[in-house]
Amino acid sequence: MSSSPQPLFPGFVPLCVDVGDGVQIAAVVGGTGSPLLLLHGHPQTHAIWHRVAPALAERHTVVAADLRGYGDSSKPAGAPDHANYSKRVMARDQLALMRSLGFERFDILAHDRGARVAHRLALDHPEAVRRMVLLDIAPTLAMYEQTTEAFARAYWHWFFLIQPAPLPERLIEADPAAYIRDVMGRRSAGLAPFDPRALAEYQRCMALEGAAHGLCEDYRASAGIDLEHDRADRDAGRSLQTPLLALWGAQGVIERCFHPLAEWRRVAREVSGEALPCGHYIAEEAPGSLLARALPFLA
């Protein structure tokens, strides 16, 4: 008889919290110490953190959450203007999650889409975020306004997923497992970095009802209402006051197409950071390098 696979987050407790408007946010919680919210990116779930969560949990109470539209969190139908998937609303989800656990002020470690949610959370609720580590993104507005052919070819999904429903949803739903393999496997490191248990979890969640629509709505909001919010901040001179550590993959598209530190310094007061020896999926490709930079920053 084959033994069952080991859990990705041993000792962590799963939970599901109602954050309002009928939306529930799924998460796992573990560890002791100051609170730390972990947010994942596309097309993944909180499972991306399984290689760094044990070390983080030695110093922090770690809350690894699934974003609205992803994983086991709620996937509501998108509004006509996609406002219910704006980063402003997705940030409120996570703030409500942390407050429900008794955490009024916390740190954030976030990757990709989750890092865009974290950016908005810290802008809209600066009192709630003490320090923030953002992985492999430049600010959304900068990336759209500086789109080049090289970027559009590498991040084709940014332009595919924002097409009107139900075209991208129908194509993803035709073979959700293949969507995960193809999107993640065509990055610089291929599929080699991913634990089979984590990959199976991404594929399970991508096949859930509403999952394709949820991630499309996330991107549709980013190409519309999120840019309106970002331009309003720029016009008003609002910037991030939260100390920010920006890390990105030396083999990734952010390194190739943008100047991440320069872009973050345009919108944030206190920025440090560097490229790490990996591609896009930092927490799974280079967990040791990530911990070596993130833990001292969050201390």
Q: Is 112 a catalytic residue?
A: yes
- Round to whole Å and give the CA distance between 104 and 151: 38
Give the single-character DSSP code of 240: B
Name the residue with tokens 């959450």.
65
Q: Which residues contact 290 (CB under 8 A, 6 or more apart)?
A: 52, 135, 247, 276, 282, 283
Q: Where are the alpha helices (DSSP H) in the chain?
A: 53-57, 87-100, 113-124, 140-145, 149-154, 156-160, 167-173, 176-185, 196-206, 211-222, 225-236, 253-257, 260-267, 282-285, 287-298
Judge residue 137's burial from the number of C-beta atoms within 10 Å of its C-beta, 0-12 exposed, 13-18 middle, 19 or more buried: buried
CA dist 13 and 148 (Å) reads: 44
Q: Active site residue: 66, 93, 112, 226, which one? A: 112
- Single-letter amino acid code for the residue at 169: E
State the Cα–Cα distance between residues 74 and 72, nearest whole angstrom: 7
User: Counting beta carbons within 10 angstroms of the beta carbon of residue 6, is it exposed (0 to 12), middle (13 to 18) or buried (19 or more)?
Assistant: exposed
Using CB atoms within 10 Å of the CB of residue 284, give its burial: 0 to 12 exposed, 13 to 18 middle, 19+ buried: buried
Q: Which among 88, 50, 90 has a CA at the least distance from the CA of 70?
A: 90
Residues annotated catalytic, as ranges: 112, 280
